[in-house]
Amino acid sequence: MQICERINDLRSILTSRRSGRSIGLVPTMGALHAGHEALIRHARATDHTLVVSIFVNPTQFGEGEDFERYPRTLDADLELCRIGGVDVVFMPSADEMYPEPLQTHVAVEPLGDDLIGAVRPGHFRGVATVVCKLFNIVQPDRAYFGRKDFQQLALIRRMVADLSFPITIVGVPTVREADGLALSSRNSRLDPDNRRASLVLHRALKHGGKMIEAGEREPETVLSAMRSIIEGEPLASLRSLDIRTARLLHPVERFGEESVVMLVTAQFGPVLLIDQFEAQPPSGKTRSET
């Protein structure tokens, strides 16, 4: 496994590997866990050369957010990559990625200003910009993202389509703890009480999914039931809750045959968590659960 900190060095390494061989990219901010392992496995099974980037991107954190407190576990991350068969780890510094203040940004609108984008203004502009830079640096054939960050996945897919990147975006199903909590690098910052309380998100999402699949047609009825569950947990501070079409994240006025996704953002102490759950209204189709 090669470790690279410079953009030009990475490009030189990949030039020698590119001829007739596919390149896969797994972009991460480090603090790798079993969810990242799933991304690496999917990529390793598909592409000849696998690049994992580890970069805690400062431009996607807003004022007062947890950039400085974001977990950094570099030695463990590198060991996970080595065991997973990663070929190249790209771990640039902020100065390498942003040698001068940016005058160019990528904004996917209005999608990036909605849902989590409304809770964290500017967040998705930072995400889209750094991913665009990574795509330009690595020039992968495929890039792998978790479906837990569903809005991010939809936003990256739209950016790739709009800017004509010759890249296939692969969404990998959410990996959860045995008790249902979606894996996240931020989970390590939950104290025992907030860790217990955070399970309310999965309970609410599962309940909403069952209502939809049982034939409930009114989104507000489902949202009201989910809000009641989450707001019944004293340690949960609900930031956003919505139901959108799974393909384009359009608002849903009434459930039809199109699959939908429920998206939730909630604060537990100092930690902001997101989760999602896809559901299929009754139509004879198979539900996609992540």
**233-283 residue pLDDT tens:** 999 999 999 999 998 899 999 999 899 999 999 999 999 999 999 999 997
- Degrees (nearest 5) of the Cα angle 219, 223, 227? 175
Q: Which of left, alpha, beta for 282 (phi over 0: left; psi -120 to 50: alpha)?
A: beta
What letters, b where the CB count within 10 A reaches 16 and e where it falls short, cover 20-46?
eebbbbbbbbbbbbebbbbbbebbbee
> Is 36 among the residues known to form the active site?
yes
Q: What is the pLDDT of residue 284?
A: 44
Indicate if the pLDDT at residue 224 is higher than 60: yes
Indicate if the pLDDT at residue 286 is higher than 50: no
In the chain, % helix, strand, coil (3-state, to 5) comes to 40, 20, 40
**Bridging pattern class, strands 2-4 and 23-28:** unpaired
Q: What is the pLDDT of residue 288?
A: 43
Q: What is the pLDDT of residue 61?
A: 92
Region of poorest pLDDT, from 18-22, 58-62, 107-111: 18-22
Query: Per residue in 24-79, pLDDT tens?
Result: 999 999 999 999 999 999 999 999 999 999 999 999 998 878 788 888 999 999 99
Q: What is the pLDDT of residue 19?
A: 83
> pTM score, two decimals?
0.91
Q: What is the pLDDT of residue 33?
A: 94
Q: What is the pLDDT of residue 138?
A: 98
Which residue out of 36, 42, 123, 202 is catalytically annotated?
36
* Closest of 64, 57, 36, 32 to residue 272, by C-alpha: 64
**C-alpha distances in Å from residue 246, one per residue of 150, 183, 240:** 9, 21, 17
